[in-house]
Chain A
Amino acid sequence: MSISLQHISKSFKTVNAVNDVSFEVKEGELFGLIGPDGAGKTTIFRILTTLLFADKGTVTVAGFDVVDDYKEIRNHVGYMPGKFSLYQDLTVEENLDFFATIFGTTIEENYELIKDIYVQIEPFKNRRAGALSGGMKQKLALSCALIHKPKVLFLDEPTTGVDPVSRKEFWEMLKRLQQKGITILVSTPYMDEAELCDRIALIQHGKILQIDTPQEIIKHYPKKIFDVKADNMYRLLESLKSYEHHYSVYPFGEFVHYTDKREDFNPQELQQYLEAKNHQNIKIEITKTTIEDTFMELAK
């Protein structure tokens, strides 16, 4: 196991940030911690990177105990915190050089590993980090987290607030790093990114809701989901919510995801109900379950 948490709990005054969390990440795995703001993701990252003591439980990273062998762990992991934490007053190159030196290595020695990412910001290597755009800061932070060739890489919400194009590129970079044998633990509030991980843990209010491959998690969703559409979205939501047999009603892109309480639900009945409510251009079709549907069902 590359990462192992057993019964970890952590409280801050009255807040139970992490509540009896256990999971394991295999060597070379891309593991996702999926949950909203305040779920406890950052606290878990800080415990794993030896920056915070857990109240209860044991943790090992790359074979080392986070309490007894914290110095070893720091040599073997890379950490990219959610908040940009490089030196704003140093240039791109100075930041990278600084982190390489701290870890007793040089940019040249591990250039191969970061090349893919670093070439994109190398034209700006003399620019101060504080003056970079969001996407470039992210690439620099990732380069700095990789410069000592870590065994395990921790990425805390690397794509929050990042546009879809840059998010897609970032995940392509992660896949390439994984192929180089690095174990990756990544957290995200974007449910669509969950499907890009090997395995995921869904987390809310400090508790793990489920751990499995994205495919298995989707498979265990208990109901059939229907896409429902009509001309006026707001009225459609109101009507569906006042339908006596509804189980869940959630806007989902251009459709509403609808599930029914009854096992033998017939969409034709719903169609008639909506027609009686004067909806126009009604469309009801069975659809695929997503991680987001599962998350909402578990978090209910």
Chain B
Amino acid sequence: MKNYNVIEVENLTKKFGDFTAVNSISFEVKKGEIFGFLGANGAGKTTAMKMLIGIAKPTSGKAQVAGFDVFTHPEDIKKNIGYMSQKFALYDDLTVKENITFFGGIYGLSRAKIKEKRCELVEELGLGDIVNELVGSLPLGWKQKISFSIALLHSPTIVFLDEPTGGVDPITRRQFWEMIYKSANNGTTIFVTTHYMDEAEYCDRVSIMVDGKIEALDTPKNLKEKYNADNMNDVFLKLARNSS
């Protein structure tokens, strides 16, 4: 299944004035891959991600996401990807059900389809008891799991996850990753950022950004060998500590 690229990036660059936030990065992500996008705070991850999801225009370079060009077809990209972050997730003053209906509508699903998807979700996540509760009253872990499912409502080719597990308890964090594995197994491509280095090990391949550039990109196993490190935390420390 993993035979073609759903993200292709070549020399992608973003400048703000004389500051180069993203400096000529190039990489590909295959269908069904779990791709970890790591880097220190301020390394340029968020800016790079914004370009890939079609909400920031690159200064130069090339990028295709889900088959569409980021320069010419950002709207088509938005329709074909899912996105979740900790900052923008769900509406706290809508119920779980209302959130599902709302986002289903935004993505242009029919009423029948929304209902079908909602029933699937309730079943899969065991939401029976809380489907009519306000999202604001739920624990963070629940919110993140629901938020992830909603990002998948319209069956996107790729889902972008921006620090999805920050502050989440260790058990829920693992349940969340099991959901990620499951969707990747079903062919959805996962593009994820995290500060938990144990989670970096769960990825098929990992890139590490330092000062706007991709300094390393490989499987966790190869990275550990190359940098002679016991775990991804050591790899990260070795690479990122050399930065300014």
Contacts and interface: CB of A to CB of B under 8 A. Distances in A.
Nearest to B210: A165
B41 A133 contact: yes
B52 interface: no
A28 interface: no
Interface string B163-203: 10011111110100110011011000000000111100110
Contacts of A233: 181, 202
A163 B39 contact: yes
Interface stretch (B73-81, B97-105, B119-127, B231-239): B231-239
B36 interface: no
Nearest to A138: B41
A61 to B, nearest CB: 26
Nearest to B234: A164
Contact of B42 (A38, A135, A167, A299): A135
Given A161-B166, A296-B170, A296-B171, A251 B178 contact: yes
Interface string A155-184: 001001111111110000000000000000
B17 interface: no
A251 B202 contact: yes
Contacts of A189: 166-169
A165 B236 contact: yes
A254 B220 contact: yes
B170 A165 contact: no
Nearest to B169: A36
B109 interface: no
A123 interface: no
Given A164-B233, A165-B237, A234-B181, A135 B41 contact: yes
Interface string B70-106: 0000000000000000000000000000000000000
Interface residues of B, number: 38
A237 B178 contact: yes
A243 interface: no
A55 interface: no
Given A36-B141, A161-B163, A163-B41, A250 B181 contact: no
A292 interface: yes
A168 B221 contact: no
Contacts of A234: 178, 181-182, 184-185
B140 interface: yes
Contacts of B168: 36-37, 189
Interface in A237-294: 237, 250-254, 292
Interface in A184-199: 189-192
A135 B241 CA distance: 14
A157 B195 CA distance: 14
B240 A36 contact: no
Nearest to A15: B137
A134 interface: yes
B167 A164 contact: no
Nearest to B171: A296
Contacts of B241: 165
B217 interface: no
B174 A160 contact: no
Nearest to A249: B174
A161 B195 contact: yes
A237 B180 CA distance: 13
A163 B240 contact: yes
Contacts of A79: none
Interface string B39-57: 1111100000000000000
12 contacts: A35-B169, A36-B167, A37-B169, A135-B42, A160-B166, A160-B167, A164-B233, A164-B237, A165-B241, A254-B221, A295-B170, A299-B169
Interface of A: 35-39, 133-135, 157, 160-168, 189-192, 204, 233-234, 237, 250-254, 292, 295-296, 299-300
Given A36-B169, A163-B43, A254-B220, 16 more contacts: A35-B169, A38-B139, A161-B166, A163-B41, A164-B195, A164-B237, A164-B240, A166-B41, A189-B166, A233-B181, A234-B181, A237-B178, A237-B181, A251-B178, A253-B198, A253-B201
